[in-house]
Structure 1
Amino acid sequence: MLSYLVQHISEYLSSHGTVIDVILRSDQSLVEEEEMREVLLSFAASAEEGHPVATIHLVELADERCEVEVEVEFPVNHADSEAGSRLWKRAREIVSEISFTEKCRYLEPEQPPQTGWMLDYHFILEQPGNAEEEQRLADTLRRFSADLGKLVRLD
């Protein structure tokens, strides 16, 4: 399921921006005898720095399902709650279940903090069992790619 999703998501995203990186992670539990596999795709409207970057986490679940978690990070120079509120409102018009997080990270005493905004949402996909389900999955991935293309262009 992971390779199917990576192939199709990459293909559909290519018409909305640039896939910057693809990483496969595999974690083996030392306590339980199970392995977790995850693919991370980094996506942006363009490869230039300073633009929002989306990280798509594809996590393999039991029963031939996969969780898709999306995080879109926006670099900001200052914390402006009104601008953040506008961003979230516009993002909710694209993906109604999206959440907004404001990050503030202090690195040095008496220095201004690094700030950023993150939009995130997730959903579950199932392995298609027939041609009709495969078509629905393809439609879902096309819509997902178009929505993500819009989200990385918000400012």
Structure 2
Amino acid sequence: MTTVTTRTVEYPADGLTMVGHLALPAGTGLRPAVLVGPEGMGLGDVERRRAEALAELGYVALAFDLHGGRYLGDPEEMLARCLPLLDDPDRMREIGGAALDALCAEPRTDPDRIAAVGYGTGGAIGLELGRAGVGLRAIGTVNATTTGRPGE
């Protein structure tokens, strides 16, 4: 098992201060990187562990935030925030783009080798980055929530 270093990364998005979880692999050189998008409730332990598992495999990984450091365990509160977000592609792109900028600000991130994976709302944000033409090498989702726009 390789040594993984983690730290909190704060960055602005959607009028909030987002609080992401950055996981770095051992070593010092440039590494491919992965954005890890959370389900609608927000960044939790599952996404933090996924970022750390990716770092163990040699990737720089950022599990990004959706709600300004909050985890929305109440389904009604989560839906009240996420449904309008999912209906606003520009807003999703802004949140995803800010997370991508935070990932690219890490000196070990190879900007030419970045992928995104995500669950639910975080997966939809990854897909929206792809629709926007962001230079991601791959996008993987689990239960990505979409709004039914043409081509989805």
Normalised TM-score (structure 2) = 0.31
Higher strand share: 1
Larger Rg, first or second structure (1 or 2): 1
TM-score (normalised: structure 1): 0.31
